[in-house]
């Protein structure tokens, strides 16, 4: 260990370590640990180095306090932090870089538990969805079910392999098998593959990673069907739809969808346009509210359009016609005049799109638009004003309760605020 005294703060080195302990470390990483004045890590990681006699910082749940202790320690001497696998993959590395500054942290990564799990499962993971349920809601997983042939999942004491298997079955994603990887890299490593029905009853140690793999890889398969009896008249939960991962998702959230559907005032035989249909959530809700009518949906992004067909099949909806293309150039000219129009996206051509929709809208019909940005709100408001219409504008700001699994409490997570503009052709 160094004998440096107080002075300028040192660089903190975050060392990725596997369940095999010191044998999983490179010579460089071992040198960092041996030369440290302060060694931080979980109790399990610190136990790999019983011969270390310098200062120890035990990392537990209170990460802000731990970051403060590490920051103080680096002003007294050199600090090494032990972290599982790759410290930048759902690990402490990014947190410390944010708290201490990126220039204050150096990362020596190891093989991540997720990478090792895919290796043990012998499943390619370049196209896999990677999800953490560690202290996070199950919706993080159900949102991507059906969109990928392989999904890697970090678990916790609540979102266990059994709970994950049950969520898959409840969501209709029955074409996956589960690989449960326990104590990866350790002497007691265990890897088991099983059907979801078997996995519901399976028990696993606390250190596990789950791989979900489709029994037949290749082209995307049709999503498993949803029983209509399990749905209410309106307001399908987001996680019942197949759509891309949350950070790229094109889906109108349930709370915004309900306000938009109410503003459309649909009747059973109405003809509806859904422009910028995303994954088809609004189109499917409209089709169920207008069972004797027709819904026409257009979406320009191919990855999202491909999911519309899966969702239509999943919900057993037959009165929706979907087109992949840009509105208003493609598709709209062939559609019958609508009783109601929903605009979920404009593709940067707001005035031309709204002009076409309003011109084709039947007298007394309603045009409803979602604006997630100030620019879209301003542009839409200006368009309606020029058209002699005064739209009703509603700002939907909703927050959802999210469980903090580690402490058994609930916090609120805000959804992106959305303006819902609604106008009736020929009057309010």
Residues 222-244 have a mean pLDDT of 76
How far is 168 from 278, CA to CA, in rounded Å? Answer: 23
**pLDDT value, residue 6:** 54
CA angle 224, 243, 146 (to 5 degrees): 35
Token digits for 369?
Answer: 């638009």
Helix (H, G, I), strand (E, B) or coil at 168: helix
| 162-166: Cβ within 8 A, 24+ apart | 162/199, 162/200, 162/201, 162/202, 162/203, 163/138, 164/133, 164/138, 164/199, 164/210, 164/212, 165/196, 165/197, 165/199, 165/200, 165/202, 166/200
Q: Structural domain of residue 119, as residue ranges?
A: 114-214
**pLDDT at residue 123 tops 50:** yes
Helix (H, G, I), strand (E, B) or coil at 135: coil
How far is 86 from 26, CA to CA, in rounded Å? Answer: 14
**pLDDT at residue 423 tops 90:** yes
Is 285 found in the same domain as 205?
no
Is 278 found in the same domain as 178?
no
**pLDDT at residue 287 tops 90:** yes
How far is 332 from 172, CA to CA, in rounded Å? Answer: 33
Burial state string for 362-395 with b = 16 or more CB within 10 A and e = fewer than 16 = beebbbbbbbeeeebbebbbebbeebebebebee
**pLDDT value, residue 219:** 40
- Domain assignment of residue 31, yes or no: yes
**pLDDT at residue 114 tops 60:** yes
Token digits for 244?
Answer: 């891309």
Cβ pair 317, 308 in contact under 8 A: no
Q: Which of 214, 241, 273 is the last residue of a domain?
A: 214
Q: Which of 62, 79, 111 is the last residue of a domain?
A: 111
- Could you tell me how many residues make up the chain? 428
**pLDDT value, residue 161:** 95
How far is 318 from 297, CA to CA, in rounded Å? Answer: 13
**pLDDT value, residue 342:** 97
Is 140 found in the same domain as 93?
no
- Domain assignment of residue 416, yes or no: yes
- Domain assignment of residue 161, yes or no: yes
Helix (H, G, I), strand (E, B) or coil at 130: strand
**pLDDT at residue 220 tops 50:** no
**pLDDT value, residue 370:** 96
Helix (H, G, I), strand (E, B) or coil at 307: helix
How far is 174 from 165, CA to CA, in rounded Å? Answer: 9
- Which among 304, 293, 263 is positioned nearest to 421, based on CA atoms? 263
**pLDDT value, residue 221:** 45
- Domain assignment of residue 203, yes or no: yes
Is 393 found in the same domain as 308?
yes
Overall number of domains in the chain: 3
pLDDT band at 147 (very low <50, low <70, confident <90, very high): confident
Is 395 found in the same domain as 325?
yes
Flag the least confident range among 133-137, 141-145, 188-192, 390-394: 141-145
Q: Name the percent of the chain in helix, strand, coil, to the closest 5.
A: 30, 25, 45
> Which residues, 6 or more positions from 348, have their beta carbon under 8 angstroms from its beta carbon?
none
* Mean pLDDT, all residues of the chain: 87
**pLDDT value, residue 247:** 43
Is 255 found in the same domain as 383?
yes
Cβ pair 358, 293 in contact under 8 A: no
**pLDDT at residue 249 tops 70:** no
CATH number, domain at 101?
3.40.1010.10
Is 363 found in the same domain as 232?
yes
Is 263 found in the same domain as 371?
yes
Higher pLDDT, 248 or 145: 145
Give me the helix-helix angle, 254-264 and 281-289, nearest 10°.
Answer: 40
pLDDT band at 228 (very low <50, low <70, confident <90, very high): confident
CATH number, domain at 304?
3.40.50.150
Cβ pair 17, 24 in contact under 8 A: yes
How far is 103 from 405, CA to CA, in rounded Å? Answer: 32
Higher pLDDT, 18 or 162: 162
**pLDDT value, residue 428:** 54
The pLDDT tens digits for 35-72 are: 999 999 999 999 999 999 899 999 887 888 888 999 99
- The residue assigned the tokens 């596997």 is 18
**pLDDT value, residue 302:** 79
Flag the least confident range among 241-250, 278-287, 354-363: 241-250
CATH number, domain at 122?
3.30.950.10
- Domain assignment of residue 223, yes or no: no
Residues 103-128 have a mean pLDDT of 92
**pLDDT at residue 13 tops 70:** yes
Is 91 found in the same domain as 201?
no
Residues 246-271 have a mean pLDDT of 86
Burial of 206 (0-12, 13-18, 19+ CB in 10 A): exposed
The pLDDT tens digits for 310-335 are: 888 888 888 998 888 776 656 677 78
**pLDDT value, residue 188:** 87
Is 120 found in the same domain as 254?
no
Is 63 found in the same domain as 22?
yes
CA angle 58, 63, 67 (to 5 degrees): 80
User: Which segments of 266-386 does DSSP mark as H helices, in order?
Assistant: 281-289, 302-314, 350-360, 374-386
Cβ pair 151, 144 in contact under 8 A: yes
Sheet of strand 150-154: strand arrangement:
129-132, 150-154, 208-214, 176-182, 190-195
Is 127 found in the same domain as 104?
no
């Amino acid at each position: 260990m160094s004998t440096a005294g107080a002075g300028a703060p040192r660089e903190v080195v975050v060392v990725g370590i596997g369940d095999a302990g010191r044998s999983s470390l490179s010579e460089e990483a071992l040198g960092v640990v041996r030369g440290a004045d302060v060694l931080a890590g979980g109790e399990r990681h610190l136990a790999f180095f019983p011969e270390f006699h310098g200062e120890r910082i035990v990392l537990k749940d209170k990460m802000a306090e731990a970051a403060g202790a590490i920051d103080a320690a680096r002003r007294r001497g050199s600090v090494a932090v032990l972290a599982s696998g790759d410290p930048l993959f759902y690990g402490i590395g990014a947190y410390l870089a944010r708290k201490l500054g990126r220039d204050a942290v150096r990362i020596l990564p190891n093989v991540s538990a997720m990478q090792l799990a895919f290796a043990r499962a012998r499943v390619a993971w370049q196209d896999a969805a990677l999800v953490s349920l560690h202290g996070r809601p199950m919706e993080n997983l159900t949102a991507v079910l059906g969109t990928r042939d392989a999904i890697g999942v970090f678990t916790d004491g609540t979102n266990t392999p059994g709970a994950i298997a049950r969520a898959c079955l409840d969501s209709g994603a029955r074409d996956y098998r589960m690989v449960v990887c326990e104590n990866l890299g350790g002497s007691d490593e265990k890897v088991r593959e099983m059907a979801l029905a078997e996995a519901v009853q399976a028990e696993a140690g606390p250190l596990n990673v789950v791989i979900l793999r489709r029994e037949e890889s290749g082209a995307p398969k049709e999503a498993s069907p949803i029983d209509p009896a399990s749905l209410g008249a309106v307001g399908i939960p987001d996680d019942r739809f197949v759509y891309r991962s949350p950070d790229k998702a094109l889906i109108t959230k349930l709370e915004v969808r309900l306000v938009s559907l109410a503003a459309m005032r649909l009747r059973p035989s109405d003809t509806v346009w859904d422009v910028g249909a995303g994954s088809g959530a609004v189109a499917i809700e409209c089709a169920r509210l207008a069972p004797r009518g027709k819904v026409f949906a257009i979406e320009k992004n191919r990855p999202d359009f491909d999911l519309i067909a899966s969702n239509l099949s999943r919900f057993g909806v037959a009165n929706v016609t979907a087109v992949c293309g840009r509105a208003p150039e493609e598709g709209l000219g062939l559609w019958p005049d609508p009783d109601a129009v929903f605009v979920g996206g404009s593709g940067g051509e707001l005035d031309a799109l709204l002009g076409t929709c309003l011109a084709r809208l039947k007298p007394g019909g309603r045009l409803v638009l979602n604006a997630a940005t100030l620019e879209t709100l301003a542009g839409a408001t200006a368009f309606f004003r020029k058209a002699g219409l005064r739209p009703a504008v509603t700002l939907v700001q909703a927050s959802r309760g999210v469980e903090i699994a580690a402490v058994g409490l609930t916090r609120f997570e805000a959804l992106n605020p959305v303006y819902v503009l609604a106008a009736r052709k020929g009057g309010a």
